[in-house]
Chain A
């Protein structure tokens, strides 16, 4: 609690938390569209590709003002995305390979430039490499203002073009038939993703940026089937991971903020994947287990029913019929007894009233299909002839 209050009093922590939360907000919103359009990893590529942009901006202007570096990053990231689309349009290369080529060659070039700057006698260069893994502790009030400005513009555009973006995410062919400029809108959405990347560079850096676009959106997707609620949830999860990550990193020395924000977001996704209502995997596993158990018990009951009617129901006879051991069959009979379907009388077992009724119901259910289909098919034939 004390730590939480420190957000309002501690200058550094406040900036870090605000920066991380802003990133979560914008990344969550734009990530929702990116994952729906199957462009999750485009964010990863854009982020990696923006590294040479930072270096080039520094080399060309010689200043380290965040806005200048971020604009350089954005410009080169944007260029990389256009280049990628051009490669996809003009070659047979699979999409993932094109992504991999752009990502690694731009990043390699960025590393080359970075080391070139570091090794040249420029004393002003220190700190450029903080964009690789992010260095949230260096965020100052001015940076937060820059991020807020960029994020505000991006979110405003999403708000204004929400209907259009929704349509091109779900049904681009229909959008095109309505006369919407689908390609232009797609490029705009990608460009806004570039803006989200720019916001994230100082906090989580180029390498981990992908997670801030993917994890909140993937988590939100598990809780709802509606785009509008998904975006709100995704933004909420993003802000939550940003704040929590910033707070946890403030508890100890040497705890980098970026990885913690990403890990928080990943944990939220994991939690959602496992436990979200309806889609949660845990419920799925439970359902499967319950179904398996029910089917097993029903088969057991039918076997017991047959033995009861035509022979004698004992662990031995049940074991013979089911090709198992008497000990196992005895345990199975006890399971049936727990359901109230059989009762033990001295050395043999009998189906109870309820057991008979249940077995009868199961037999009927199994016959249901041919019986109802029979006259229906016959009637259909009669009508045709």
Chain B
């Protein structure tokens, strides 16, 4: 495998693993909890490196790092349950504190070692092809592919196996609890997987940009559909497209790969926001304009139906207080539909228009 393919494949695995979980985070309104988790695993990762001697973190140590993510979730939930501070402030209180601890530890003990602050920020996905996994004297290929592949598979299995439970507890937690689906246990399972994914993706995309992979593709998909399975599928697709396009852009501009992937994801979100057929800004605007036009045309029909002779344009404008341009739009639509006709003396109904105007709703 060439280096390019390995990097892109790693990125797609990161984005897939993230998008699967992120869809539920977005729907459960826990998007920022993932932000908190991704920051808070830093001290855990530092500790993991420290325990394993600063060279390479072992798998067990990384599991410990994921526990730091769960600790954050528990702390935030405990803080907001005390009713002393609101939920968002609790998030904003816990993660900077934990992240500060991590940064402090990195700058004190890991200067210029394997863990530096740049890696914390945007990961080292460019090195993905060079960190290979060796076991039993065999070269098994890039480590990141193994880690992220496992995580993506784990998350996929989780979503497939507990799809019904996740769906129910996401949309109606009360009913899920009443039916005995243990939404609490599911919640912590989801948070554990988010923490694991954040730790696993740390090497590739860093502590902060993982949020881009967790939130932006599902949020984009959320704007494009109202069905859960479609949303998850679209989220995975958006993540994959951002990965590929981001990589190409990063190579062209000689910029951070993870950074450009997040940028492309942001751009895709902007496109969905503007053009989504479901409730994109521009389709919604043109839909509103069309409805306005059609309503005006119907008003016009009703008005003309009260007159036996053609009504001069000037009179119509006075009657409704419309601008000539707006009347022209409404008139154009009605004429295209064959409902009214122009006349030297003004506007009059066609036979079809008269029928429509005479109809009772």
Interface residues in A199-237 (C-beta closer than 8 Å to B): 207-208, 210-211, 213-215, 217-218, 221-222
Among B28-36, B61-69, B321-329, the one that faces the other chain is B28-36
Partner of B255, one of A106, A112, A132, A207: A112
A104 with B212: CB separation less than 8 A? yes
Cα separation A259 to B106 with both chains bound (whole Å): 11
Cβ of B279 within 8 Å of any chain A Cβ, yes or no, is yes
Among A36-44, A314-322, A352-360, the one that faces the other chain is A36-44
B122 with A111: CB separation less than 8 A? yes
Question: Main secondary structure on chain B at its contact with chain A?
Answer: helix
Contacts of A210 in B (CB 8 A): 92, 96
Q: How many residues of A contact B (CB 8 A)?
A: 65
Among A87-95, A302-310, A333-341, A367-375, the one that faces the other chain is A87-95
Among A60-68, A70-78, A113-121, A155-163, the one that faces the other chain is A113-121
Cβ of B93 within 8 Å of any chain A Cβ, yes or no, is yes
Partner of A208, one of B96, B214, B215, B222: B96
A40 with B284: CB separation less than 8 A? no
Cβ of B152 within 8 Å of any chain A Cβ, yes or no, is no
B255 with A119: CB separation less than 8 A? yes
Cβ of A109 within 8 Å of any chain B Cβ, yes or no, is yes
Contacts of A115 in B (CB 8 A): 122, 254-256, 259
B208 with A100: CB separation less than 8 A? no
Cβ of B216 within 8 Å of any chain A Cβ, yes or no, is yes
Contacts of A269 in B (CB 8 A): 93
Interface residues in B254-275 (C-beta closer than 8 Å to A): 254-256, 258-263, 265-267, 269, 273
Cα separation A96 to B258 with both chains bound (whole Å): 22
B93 with A41: CB separation less than 8 A? no
Cβ of B209 within 8 Å of any chain A Cβ, yes or no, is yes
Q: What 1/0 mask marks residues of chain B from 24 to 48 whose CB sits below 8 Å from any chain A CB? A: 0010011110110001000000000
Given A108-B266, A109-B266, A116-B254: A93 in contact with B104 (beta carbons within 8 A): no
A91 with B31: CB separation less than 8 A? no
Cβ of B20 within 8 Å of any chain A Cβ, yes or no, is no
Partner of B96, one of A92, A129, A132, A262: A262
Cα separation A35 to B84 with both chains bound (whole Å): 12
Cα separation A260 to B107 with both chains bound (whole Å): 12
A266 with B117: CB separation less than 8 A? no
Contacts of A119 in B (CB 8 A): 254-255
Cβ of B89 within 8 Å of any chain A Cβ, yes or no, is yes
Contacts of B82 in A (CB 8 A): 273, 281, 284
Interface residues in A95-139 (C-beta closer than 8 Å to B): 95-101, 103-116, 119-120, 129, 132-133
Question: Main secondary structure on chain A at its contact with chain B?
Answer: helix
Partner of B211, one of A103, A218, A258, A263: A103
Given A94-B29, A109-B262: A100 in contact with B35 (beta carbons within 8 A): yes
Cα separation A41 to B208 with both chains bound (whole Å): 15
Contacts of B212 in A (CB 8 A): 104-105, 107-108
Given A40-B86, A90-B284, A281-B84: A104 in contact with B108 (beta carbons within 8 A): no
Partner of B208, one of A112, A129, A207: A207
Contacts of A260 in B (CB 8 A): 100, 104
B255 with A116: CB separation less than 8 A? yes
A218 with B269: CB separation less than 8 A? no
Cβ of B99 within 8 Å of any chain A Cβ, yes or no, is yes
- How many Å from the CB of B234 to the closest CB on chain A? 14
Partner of A214, one of B89, B99, B256, B263: B89
Partner of A263, one of B100, B118, B254: B100
Cβ of A327 within 8 Å of any chain B Cβ, yes or no, is no
A254 with B89: CB separation less than 8 A? no
A279 with B84: CB separation less than 8 A? yes
Interface residues in A28-68 (C-beta closer than 8 Å to B): 35, 38-41, 43-44, 48
Interface residues in B188-203 (C-beta closer than 8 Å to A): none
Cα separation A117 to B118 with both chains bound (whole Å): 15
Partner of B258, one of A111, A120, A208, A217: A111
B100 with A91: CB separation less than 8 A? no
Cβ of A172 within 8 Å of any chain B Cβ, yes or no, is no
Contacts of A255 in B (CB 8 A): 104, 107-108
Cβ of A242 within 8 Å of any chain B Cβ, yes or no, is no
- How many Å from the CB of B69 to the closest CB on chain A? 16
5 contacts between A and B (CB under 8 A): A40-B88, A211-B92, A222-B84, A255-B108, A256-B103
**New A-B contacts (6) at CB < 8 Å, excluding given A96-B32, A115-B256:** A90-B284, A115-B259, A210-B96, A214-B96, A218-B89, A259-B103
> Lowest 6 A-B CB distances belong to which pairs?
A108-B262, A105-B266, A111-B259, A211-B96, A112-B259, A104-B212
